[in-house]
């Protein structure tokens, strides 16, 4: 990471970008292009592609049908996957071949959503009060729809890129497991997605108190570890309660976990992030600068300000699912919980597991790792990607900085980085820092942010696929 020179390179590029004199990029694309993006977005959102209750294949097939209608030959469209219900679609738009391809990635599966949990149907694209509502509106069907709509427009206007542009819309990013589309493509069809680098989710624009603050360029991410806590007990009749209760053992362990925090720290990416974000947040500037220098007290104060900053500064583990008991009138014979950990790249899996066992502190509660975790490297901070992102950002949103970051969640970019394809999360879709609803109830995205993201990604991809004069 030392080769990144984040402070020097970012400052120089920001300075040159703001000094450049050029025509402003369009705030949004023409109405006909916006309509196409909207129609694809609506179609994608309204296909139920949840990990367990839905299928990505209808989404992939819908995308392929639109590509064929736009004149893409069957030879350039691939449909396939690890399961008939979990297909991916990959399309190649041919360029001059002067440079290696650019891969544009988005996943078309979504987290499950129950109608009774939402104030509206989660599988309808609802437009209300300036927002698009629906499961996947933010994660990740907005970017999937934009990639497809923009690629169709490139072909329509006869744009000849200096490299092939590959769009891959893939399965099971949320669920992972044996049907993950990126893992399957890397293993079985690497040639379809092999590229010089990739653009993906993981970097978004941030709004604070109504102000556009930063457009993030994700270069690294946490990795995931899942654990199962389990307590077995002989049980008995509920009329004869005893202290040795499986649910009580589990509840006490979860209570200890809820009060525990992994150590706060920075790495080179997150230190650079806080250093760059500090001038954009006057109220917290001093503490953010101190965080970038590793000040422990400042880290405590900053971590308490927002869940996002807390997650950036430490490994986190949280209970996500519970099960237990077998009858209303019986003492439980089993109590179990699923624990989802988002781990800093520098924290080893063994360290996380050992720490979790110490926190549980009960030999009645077993701690089991559910799958072998994989850590991915960070992507090198390419000057061309940073310069292009900065240039387009400053045209569309004057004064908004492009800030490299480590995403606190996880994306399929990790697998691409492991496979040797540097991946950068960037969307140009701005969301409110205090209203991030991905994976939650009434997921939503600003209507204007969706269309601005379409225009931003259109210009960004064109810039990265056009050789300098």
pLDDT higher than 90, residue 371: no
Model confidence at 26, pLDDT cuts 50, 70, 90, reads low
CA distances to 15, 59, 83 from 313, rounded to whole Å, are 28, 36, 38
**SS3 assignment, position 171:** coil
- Comparing 141 with 374, the larger pLDDT belongs to 141
Separation between Cα atoms, residue 14 and residue 55, nearest integer Å:
43
Q: CA-based angle 312:12:395, to the nearest 5?
A: 85
Find the mean pLDDT for residues 175-196. 94
- The two tokens of residue 136 are 């996947």
Average pLDDT over residues 259-267: 97
For 47-101, list the strands marked E by DSSP: 77-81, 87-93
Residue 398 confidence (pLDDT) above 50: yes
Q: Does pLDDT of 347 surpass 50?
A: yes
Q: What local confidence, expressed as pLDDT, does residue 372 receive?
A: 86
Q: Does 21 score more than 90 pLDDT?
A: no
pLDDT digits 0-9 by tens, 73-110: 999 999 999 999 999 999 999 999 999 999 999 999 99
Tokens for 261, please give them: 């925090």
Question: pLDDT at position 10, please?
Answer: 41
pLDDT, mean of residues 125-147: 97
* % of residues, the chain, pLDDT over 90: 87
For residue 91, is the peptide bond before it cis, meaning its omega torsion is within 30 degrees of 0? no
Residue 22 pLDDT class (50, 70, 90 cuts) = very low
Is the CB of residue 460 less than 8 Å from the CB of residue 43? no
Q: Does position 425 have pLDDT exceeding 70, yes or no?
A: yes
Q: pLDDT tier at 197 (50, 70, 90 boundaries)? A: very high
State residue 194's pLDDT score.
98
- State the pLDDT at residue 323: 97
pLDDT in tens, 204-251: 999 988 999 999 999 999 999 999 999 999 999 999 999 999 999 999
Q: What is the pLDDT averaged over residues 411-440?
A: 94
> What pLDDT, on a 0 to 100 scale, did the predictor assign at position 258?
98
pLDDT of residue 5: 40
Residue ranges of domains in the chain, CATH in brackets: 2-221+377-464 (3.40.630.10), 223-369 (3.30.70.360)
Nearest Cα residue to 417 out of 209, 136, 222, 133? 222
Confidence of residue 469 (pLDDT cuts 50, 70, 90): low
pLDDT digits (tens, 9 = 90+) for 406-416: 998 889 999 99
Q: What pLDDT, in 10s, does the model give residues 6-18?
A: 433 444 333 333 3
Q: What is the CA radius of gyration of the chain?
A: 23
For the chain, the average pLDDT equals 92
pLDDT tens across 335-346, in order? 999 999 999 999
| Whole-number Å distance between alpha carbons of 363 and 229 | 11
* DSSP codes, 92-151: EE----SS--EEEEEE--B----GGGSSS-TTS-EEETTEEESTTTTTTHHHHHHHHHHH
Interatomic CA distance for residues 15 and 108, integer angstroms? 37
- What is the per-residue pLDDT for 71? 98
- CA angle 147-140-422, nearest 5°? 70
Is residue 174 within 8 Å of 106, Cβ to Cβ?
Answer: no
Across the range 286-314, mean pLDDT stands at: 96
pTM confidence score: 0.86
Band of residue 165 on the pLDDT scale cut at 50, 70, 90: very high
- Residue 224: CB atoms within 10 A of its CB come to 17
Which helix (H) or strand (E) is 143 found in, with range?
helix 141-156
Taking CA atoms, 188 is separated from 82, 182, 355, in Å, by 10, 10, 37
pLDDT digits (tens, 9 = 90+) for 105-133: 999 999 999 999 999 999 999 999 999 99
Closest-CA residue to 401 (of 268, 208, 252): 208
The pLDDT assigned to 433 comes to 86
What pLDDT, on a 0 to 100 scale, did the predictor assign at position 16?
37
Q: What is the pLDDT of residues 232-245, one digit of tens each?
A: 999 999 999 999 99
Instruction: For CA atoms 460, 462, 467, 469, give the dihedral sign.
Output: negative
The terminus-to-terminus CA distance of the chain in angstroms comes to 31
């Amino acid at each position: 990471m030392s080769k990144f020179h984040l402070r020097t390179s970012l400052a120089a590029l920001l300075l040159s970008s703001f000094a450049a004199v050029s025509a402003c990029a369009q705030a949004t694309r023409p109405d006909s292009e916006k309509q196409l993006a909207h129609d694809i977005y609506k179609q994608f959102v309204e296909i139920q592609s949840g990990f367990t209750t839905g299928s990505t294949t209808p989404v992939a097939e819908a995308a392929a049908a639109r590509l064929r209608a736009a004149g893409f030959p069957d030879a350039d469209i691939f449909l396939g996957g690890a399961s008939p219900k979990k297909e991916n679609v990959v399309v190649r738009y041919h360029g001059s071949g002067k440079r290696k391809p650019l891969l544009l990635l988005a996943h078309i599966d979504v987290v499950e959503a129950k109608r009774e949990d939402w104030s509206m149907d989660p599988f309808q694209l609802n437009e209300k009060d300036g927002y698009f509502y629906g499961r996947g509106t933010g994660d990740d069907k907005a970017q999937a729809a934009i990639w497809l709509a923009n690629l169709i427009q490139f072909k329509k206007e006869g744009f000849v890129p200096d490299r092939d542009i590959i769009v891959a819309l893939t399965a099971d990013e949320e669920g992972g497991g044996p049907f993950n589309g990126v893992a399957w493509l890397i293993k079985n069809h690497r040639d379809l997605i092999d590229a010089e680098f990739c653009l993906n989710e993981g970097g978004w624009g941030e709004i604070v108190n109504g102000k556009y603050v930063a457009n993030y360029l994700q270069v690294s991410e946490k990795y995931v570890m899942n654990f199962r806590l389990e307590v077995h007990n002989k049980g008995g009749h509920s009329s004869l309660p005893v202290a040795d209760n499986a649910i009580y053992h589990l509840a006490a362990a979860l209570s200890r976990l809820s009060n525990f925090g992994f150590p706060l720290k920075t790495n080179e990416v997150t230190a650079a992030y806080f250093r760059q974000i500090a001038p954009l947040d006057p109220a917290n500037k001093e503490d953010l600068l101190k965080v970038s220098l590793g000040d422990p007290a400042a880290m405590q104060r900053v971590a308490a300000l927002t869940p996002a900053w807390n997650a950036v500064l430490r490994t986190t583990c949280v209970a996500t699912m519970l099960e237990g008991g077998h009858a209303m009138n019986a003492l439980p014979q089993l109590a179990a919980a699923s624990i989802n950990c988002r781990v800093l790249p520098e924290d080893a899996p063994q360290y996380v597991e050992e720490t979790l066992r110490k926190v549980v502190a009960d030999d009645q509660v077993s701690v089991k790792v559910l799958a072998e975790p994989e850590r991915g490297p960070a992507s090198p901070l390419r000057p061309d990607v940073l310069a292009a992102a900065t240039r387009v950002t400053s045209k569309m949103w004057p004064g908004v900085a492009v800030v490299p970051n480590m995403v606190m969640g996880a994306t399929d970019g990790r697998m691409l980085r492991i496979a040797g394809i540097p991946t950068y999360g960037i969307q140009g879709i701005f969301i409110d820092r205090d209203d991030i609803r991905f994976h939650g109830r009434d997921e939503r995205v600003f209507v204007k942010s969706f269309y601005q993201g379409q225009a931003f990604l259109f210009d960004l991809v064109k810039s990265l696929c056009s050789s300098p004069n």
